[in-house]
Every structure is written in C-alpha cells, then in structure tokens.
C-alpha cells in the first residue's frame, strides 16, 4: 500500500497539535490537513505552530476552512475578502498548498451562479502570487450550493486554473447525490478528495444531517455506505484524479481515544481504500476495452 | 484547452497602453547605474526626497530605487538587486486600480511623502509591484517628483531602436496555467499559441499585453534545478530592437558582454547578456514594436 496519497485531518484527533502530528507520522502518514484554528489557537503563538509543523516533516495537505465567502456584496464582501487574505497568509506561512472554501450557508449571500463564479475567480486570483490553490466544496447544508454538480458548475464557470472542486464523500452520501456527474469533472479540476462515512443508512432531517456531519462520521470501510464509497472512488479515479485523499472524520468517540489509536484506524481505512477500491478501478477501466474489442470483432 | 480557445477577442478592461517605467530595487545603485549606462541608458533625473534615480533611453524609462524600504523581501535571500515594479500606462489610474482590486489583486501600502504623487499599485509576482500611471501624454509623473540631472539630455536616443519588449518571470514547475489566468483575468493579457516565440530563449509561455505593446514570458525551472531554489519573481527585462545584430554590435562596443554559447548564441533573432552583479541580465529580441509606440 502506498500511504503517500493519504492524510489525516487534525479535526479527527485528540490532543494538542504536537500529539496529532506525532501520531500521524508514527502511523506512516506523510501529510496532514490543518485547520486555521490549529495555528491561531496554538498556545505559544503562530510562529511556534508553524515551526512545529515544518519540523514534523509532514506535508500539509491544505488549510480548513473559509466559510460563507461567496455571493456577498458591499461591506460584507469586503470583510470576507479581508478574512480570505488572512487565511491565505496563514497558508503561505505554514506551507499549505490549498485553501478549502465551503459553500455558503449565509442568508445574505446571492445564489446567482455568475456572482458565485466571479467571487471564486477573484479568490483564485488572490491566491496565485502566494502559490496557493483554492478548493471549493459543496457543503450538504449549503444554502445555494449543496451538491457537487452545483459546485462544479460554478467552478467551471469561473474558468480559473487556480480553482478546483473538493469532493467530500460525506456530503454526497448525506444528500444521496447521484454519482453520474462525477465523470463531468476533469481530474485536474478536482482539488482534493475528502473521505468519511457514517453508521446509518438514512438521515431524516437537516438537524440530523448536521449532527452526523459534525460528531458521528467514521473512516471509510467502517460505515454503512462502503458500496457507494467504492463506486465514488472508482469514478474519481476514472476522471484521472491523482491527488490527495484526506480523511475528514468528525467523531466524538475518536476524540476520547489516544491519537495513535485513531491514526491506526485511519491506516486501516487507507488500506481498505487501496485494497478494495483502487485495485478494482483497474478492472473497471479494462472492461470498456473488452467491449470495444468485441464491437470491433463484430 | 478548448475553453480558452473559444474565448472572444481579449478586452482591455484597464486601458493598458504599454509600459511607463520598470523599476529595480537595489542595495548597489552605482553598480546597477553603471550597467544601465553600458546598455545605453542615461541618468536624466533624481527623486526630490529619496534615493531614486531615473534612467532613460528612447521610449524607455528605468528607475533605480535604492531607498532602504524598497528592498524589503519576504524571504531571507541575499538578493542585492531585484526587478521591483512594472508601471503600466493606463487610461485612468484610479479606475484601473479599482478594477484590479475587484478582480483579486492585493493592494500595496502607499509610500508617497507629502506633495509626492501617490501612484496606485497592486502586488505582482514575488515582491514586485504593478503600478498604474495615467499621466504620460501631456505631462509626466517625473515632472512632479524628480529633478533633472544637470547637463543630461532630456530624451537620450535609443541604440538601434531599442524599446521595451517585455519581462521574463520565473514560475514554479507546473504553474503556467495559474499565472496565465492571473494575468488574463486581472489585466486582460492573452496567451500566445504554443510554438510562437521570439528571440533566442524559446522556453516558456508567452503572454501578450491587451494593448499588444509588450509581452510577459513565464519560465519554469530547468529540469536540473531544484524547485526550492526557484522563486516566483521577475527575472529579466527584454529589449526589442528591429536590428539585433546592430544593437549587439553597438552594445559590445560599450562593453556589454553577451552569452556566446549554445543555446543562447546571439543571432539575428536575439541575444542574451551575461549575468551582471546582483543577478541582472538583459535579453535582446528582434521586434518592430518600437515603431508603433
């Protein structure tokens, strides 16, 4: 198994930043997704946090998370641009190559795709001189954009090489979004894939969806949607995506366990993904060739 | 990419109309001034309050900024000289600035002193600045902030019709498309089709300014280079001339040394000077652009 493409997310692990980095590294992960608050709230200050991350030898997958950014106007837009600039400076300081942006939940935001695309392109341009890419994710409870086809629509419209979509399995499973449109997205326009599952088949209300998302996710291979996850991963692989897979698992139980134990579960999950999914994707790709051979023979 | 190919004729939202000046920031203004003089520039004016000097040649203005604040670098690299700014001629500097900010540029802190021109600008590649200047026809920005150098000609002629052809910018590996979209969406540049090249340094991606008066060339590190040593920054000015051979000959007579080995051997298409003190070099490119500006 090649662990190089898989990373932990600090949100999944208990303890101070040091312990999270140490546990990830100890279990063989070479990268980790950070949250801005990991750095901002570090007791010894930002510079020490940055030094700690750099000294860990772990590659930073990206930085979470810019919220309620797009679709705003006037002073609200200007305020959010200011916040975005601070986030980009944090990315630069800690060596994060990607800033994650979640689709807005703000009632003040316009859902006009052209407006959203314009705002995303602006952020993508802001990020170019700093060498940081922007990834836009459809939050399942986003006000206007809450499914990946909508996030791809505005990213495509923005037409900026420094902008891609973030595919998050939780939000797709939670809204039961059909997977057919994954093939519309070129692999190089997928900025990141975040993986997690959960333990029940049905989500009955928006409240339950939010509660599940924030407290009750599990690693891939541990939940009840392994079949759908496999399908999703195969489709993403067929898009030509060769980037990182990050385990973004919000789980209150995991936060009561030593980070090494949780990182070991993540290690199992990485094995599950490569063993069960990526190997099968090779067969899936071979199938059409057989069909083609058959049709030529006819 | 199909999407880009289907783009309509590029617009010029900022009203860009060529380059007003290019600025170097340096700790060694005398050494750099000496190099510029060898390249045919003449010192024509000096800033009223700062250690800033204007050099001219034909249609070109080059500023040497030795103000201690000018060479603030975001990293600890021991550069003594950097290409620190491009001033773009625009229709309306305020409008251009606001448009650039709206499209995702970073504003710069204003550095003007009392009674000095406050030239609006945004951050470009590396630590460089893109200024917007709209006073270049009836009177110039230099009339306000600069005192003429006694005895110097106001408009020294250009050697062999030399003019600004463009700037070369280093980019990290695989980042050409991101920078193309930066220059395209922010300033209205358009990318030239692959295979179209100028001069003798064909490597890289060429972008044409919306006024079609100059170019940006994006250059990725050579295969042998380690990415860590390759900052994203402006690295070289390209001078256009209708007659590269004549220009090269005249500059050689003035003591300029050209690289004379493959793949940068001087010919009628272009030539590359040696790397001077502070990492400064210049490129000559066969060009008729000077006749239209």
pLDDT tens readout for residues A30-63: 999 999 999 999 999 999 999 999 999 999 999 9
Q: How many residues does chain B have?
A: 293
* pLDDT computed for residue A106 by the predictor: 97
With CA atoms as reference, the chain B residue closest to A78 would be B102
- Does the beta carbon of B263 lie under 8 angstroms from any beta carbon of chain A? no
Q: Is the pLDDT of residue A291 over 70?
A: no
- Minimal Cα distance from B128: which residue of A? A129
Chosen for mutation from B2, B181, B186, B190 (greatest number of chain A CBs closer than 10 Å) is B181
Are B108 and B41 in contact, with CB atoms under 8 Å apart?
A: no
Mean pLDDT of chain A: 92
Question: What is the number of H-type helices and E-type strands within chain A?
Answer: 11, 10
Model pTM greater than 0.80? yes
Stretches where chain B sits below pLDDT 70 are 1-10, 72-78, 111, 113, 115, 202, 224-229, 291-293
Q: Is A20 helix (H, G, I), strand (E, B) or coil?
A: helix
Q: What's the distance, CA B51 to chain centroid? A: 20
Residue B130 is part of a domain; what is its CATH number?
3.10.180.10
Q: How far apart are CA A274 and CA A44, in angstroms?
A: 38
Q: Work out the pLDDT band at A276, boundaries 50, 70, 90.
A: low
Size of interface A-B (CB pairs under 8 A): 46
pLDDT tens digits for A125-174? 999 999 999 999 999 999 999 999 999 999 999 999 999 999 999 999 99
What pLDDT is recorded for position A293? 37
Inform me whether the C-beta atom of residue B106 falls under 8 Å from chain A C-beta atoms: yes
Q: Are residues B163 and B96 in the same domain?
A: no
CB-CB under 8 Å, A125 with B106: no
Rg (CA), chain A: 19
- Asked if residue B1 belongs to a domain, the reply is no
A162 with B178: Cβ contact below 8 A: yes
Run of H or E including A60: strand A59-66
Contact present, A33 and A99 (Cβ < 8 Å)? no
Decide if B233 is inside a domain.
Answer: yes
Residue given tokens 């990290």 in the structure block: B172
Q: Note whether B263 and B177 are same-domain residues.
A: yes
Q: Which of B125, B172, B186 is facing A125, going by the closest CB pair?
A: B186
Which residue, of B148, B173, B197, is where some domain finishes?
B148
Are B106 and B47 in the same domain? Answer: yes
- For residues B100 and B184, membership in a common domain is answered with no
What is the rounded average pLDDT of the residues A217-229? 95
Closest CA to A104 of A150, A63, A61, A62: A150
Q: Which residues on chain B are in Cβ contact (under 8 Å) with A121?
A: 103-104, 185
**What average pLDDT score do residues A252-260 get?**
95
Give me the pLDDT at residue A297, please. Answer: 35
Q: How confident is the model at residue A3 (pLDDT cuts 50, 70, 90)?
A: confident
Could you tell me whether strands B282-286 and B233-241 are parallel, antiparallel, or unpaired per DSSP bridges? parallel
Same domain? B113 vs B167: no
Taking CA–CA distances from A160, the nearest residue in chain B reads B181
Q: Are residues B42 and B140 in the same domain?
A: yes
Sheet holding B42-47, edge to edge: B121-123, B129-133, B81-89, B19-26, B60-65, B52-57, B42-47, B146-148
Q: Are A29 and A266 spatial neighbours (Cβ–Cβ below 8 Å)? A: yes
Closest CA of chain B from A148, distance in Å: 21
Kindly state which CATH superfamily the domain A3-297 is placed in. Divalent-metal-dependent TIM barrel enzymes (3.20.20.150)
Q: Which of A85, A133, A160 sits opposite B185 (nearest CB)?
A: A160
User: Which chain A residues touch B172 with a CB distance below 8 Å?
Assistant: 131
pLDDT of residue A290: 41
B3 assigned to some structural domain: no
B125 & B194 share domain: no
Predicted pLDDT of residue A294: 37
- CB within 8 Å: B182 and A128: yes
Q: Rounded to an integer, what distance in angstroms lies between the CA atom of residue B213 and that of residue B51?
A: 30
Within 8 A of B177 by CB-CB distance, chain A residues are 161
Q: What is the pLDDT of residue A286?
A: 43
Q: What is the spatial distance between Cα B15 and Cα B8, in angstroms, rounded to a whole number?
A: 17
Residue A287: pLDDT over 70: no
Does B134 share its domain with B65? yes
Q: Where are the alpha helices (DSSP H) in A98-147?
A: 113-127
Contact B233, B280 (CB under 8 A): no
Pairing of strands A163-168, A190-195: parallel
Residues of chain B contacting A99 with CB distance shorter than 8 Å? none
Say whether both B102 and B182 belong to one domain.
Answer: no
Q: Which tens digit of pLDDT belongs to each residue from A172-193?
A: 999 999 999 999 999 999 999 9
Dihedral angle at the C-alpha atoms of B172, B177, B182, B186, nearest 10 degrees?
A: 160
Judge if B49 and B137 occupy the same domain: yes
Quote the tokens at residue B178: 């991101």
A121, A113 in Cβ contact below 8 A?
no
Total number of domains in chain B: 2
Domain end position, chosen among B117, B148, B179: B148
Q: How many residues does chain A have?
A: 298
What are the boundaries of each domain within chain A?
A: 3-297
- Does residue B101 sit at the A interface (CB-CB below 8 Å)? no
Question: Is A125–B179 a contact, with Cβ atoms under 8 angstroms apart?
Answer: no
Q: Cα(B286)–Cα(B244) distance, rounded to whole angstroms?
A: 6
Structural domain ending residue among the three candidates B99, B123, B148: B148
At a CB cut-off of 8 Å and minimum separation 6, what does B170 contact?
B219, B220, B221, B230, B231, B232, B233, B234, B235
Neighbouring C-beta atoms of residue A166, cutoff 10 Å: 26
Residue B280: which domain range? Answer: 159-291
CA distance B229 to A40: 29
> What number of H helices and E strands is found in chain B?
6, 15
- The CB density around residue A13, as the number of other CB atoms within 10 Å, is 27
Are residues B247 and B131 part of one domain?
no
pLDDT at residue B225 in the model: 61
B53-83 b/e with 16+ CB inside 10 Å = b?
A: bbbbbbbbbbbbbbeeebbeeeeeeebebbb
Closest CA to A193 of A62, A15, A22, A77: A62
pLDDT score, position B58: 95
Same domain, B256 and B196: yes
């Amino acid at each position: 198994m090649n662990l190089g493409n898989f990373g932990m997310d600090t949100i999944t692990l208990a303890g101070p930043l040091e312990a999270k980095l140490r546990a990830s590294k100890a279990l063989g992960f070479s990268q980790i997704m950070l949250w801005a608050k990991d750095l901002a709230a570090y007791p010894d200050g930002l510079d020490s946090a940055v030094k700690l991350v750099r000294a860990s030898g772990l590659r930073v997958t990206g930085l979470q998370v810019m919220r309620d950014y797009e679709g705003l106007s006037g002073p609200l837009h200007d305020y959010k641009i200011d916040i975005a600039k601070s986030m980009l400076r944090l990315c630069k300081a800690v060596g994060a190559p990607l800033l994650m942006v979640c689709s807005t939940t703000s009632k003040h935001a316009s859902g006009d795709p052209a407006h959203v695309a314009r705002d995303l392109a602006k952020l993508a341009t802001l990020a170019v001189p700093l060498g940081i890419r922007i990834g836009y994710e459809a939050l399942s409870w986003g006000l206007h954009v809450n499914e990946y086809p909508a996030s791809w629509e505005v990213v495509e419209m923005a037409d900026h090489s420094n902008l891609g979509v973030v595919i998050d399995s939780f939000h797709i499973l939670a809204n039961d979004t059909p997977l057919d449109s994954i093939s519309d997205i070129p692999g190089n326009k997928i900025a990141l894939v975040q993986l997690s599952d959960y333990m029940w088949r049905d989500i009955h209300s928006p409240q339950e969806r939010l509660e599940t998302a924030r407290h009750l996710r599990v690693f891939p291979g541990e939940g009840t949607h392994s079949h759908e996850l496999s399908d999703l991963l195969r489709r993403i692989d067929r898009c030509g995506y060769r980037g990182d897979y990050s385990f973004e698992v919000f789980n209150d139980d995991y936060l009561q366990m030593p980070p090494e134990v949780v990182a070991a579960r993540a290690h199992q999950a990485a094995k599950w993904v490569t063993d069960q999914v990526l190997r099968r994707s090779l067969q899936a790709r071979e199938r059409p060739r057989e069909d083609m051979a058959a049709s030529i023979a006819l | 990419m199909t999407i880009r190919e289907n783009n309509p004729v590029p617009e010029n939202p900022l009203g860009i109309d060529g380059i007003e000046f290019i600025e170097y920031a340096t700790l060694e203004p005398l050494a750099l001034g000496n190099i510029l003089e060898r390249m045919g520039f003449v010192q024509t004016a000096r800033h009223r309050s700062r250690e800033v000097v204007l050099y001219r040649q034909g249609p070109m203005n080059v500023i040497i900024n030795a103000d201690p604040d000018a060479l603030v670098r975001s990293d600890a690299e021991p550069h003594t000289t950097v290409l620190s700014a491009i001033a773009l001629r625009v229709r309306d500097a305020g409008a251009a600035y606001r448009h650039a900010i709206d499209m995702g540029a970073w504003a710069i802190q204003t550095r003007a002193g009392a009674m000095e021109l406050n030239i609006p600008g945004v951050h470009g590649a590396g630590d460089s600045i893109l200024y917007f200047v709209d006073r270049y026809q009836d009177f110039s920005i230099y009339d306000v902030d600069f005192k003429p150098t006694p005895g110097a000609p106001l408009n020294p002629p250009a050697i062999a019709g030399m003019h600004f052809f463009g700037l070369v910018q280093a980019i990290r590996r695989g980042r050409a498309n991101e920078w193309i979209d930066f220059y395209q969406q922010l300033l209205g540049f358009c990318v030239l089709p692959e295979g179209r090249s100028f001069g003798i340094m064909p490597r890289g991606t060429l972008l044409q300014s919306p006024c079609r008066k100059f170019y940006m060339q994006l250059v990725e590190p050579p295969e042998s280079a380690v990415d860590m040593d390759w900052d994203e920054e402006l690295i070289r000015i390209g001078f256009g001339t209708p007659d590269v051979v004549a220009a090269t000959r005249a500059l050689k007579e003035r003591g300029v040394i050209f690289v004379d080995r493959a793949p940068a051997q001087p010919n009628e298409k272009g030539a590359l000077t040696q790397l001077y003190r502070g990492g400064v070099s210049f490129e000559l490119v066969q060009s008729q652009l000077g006749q239209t500006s």
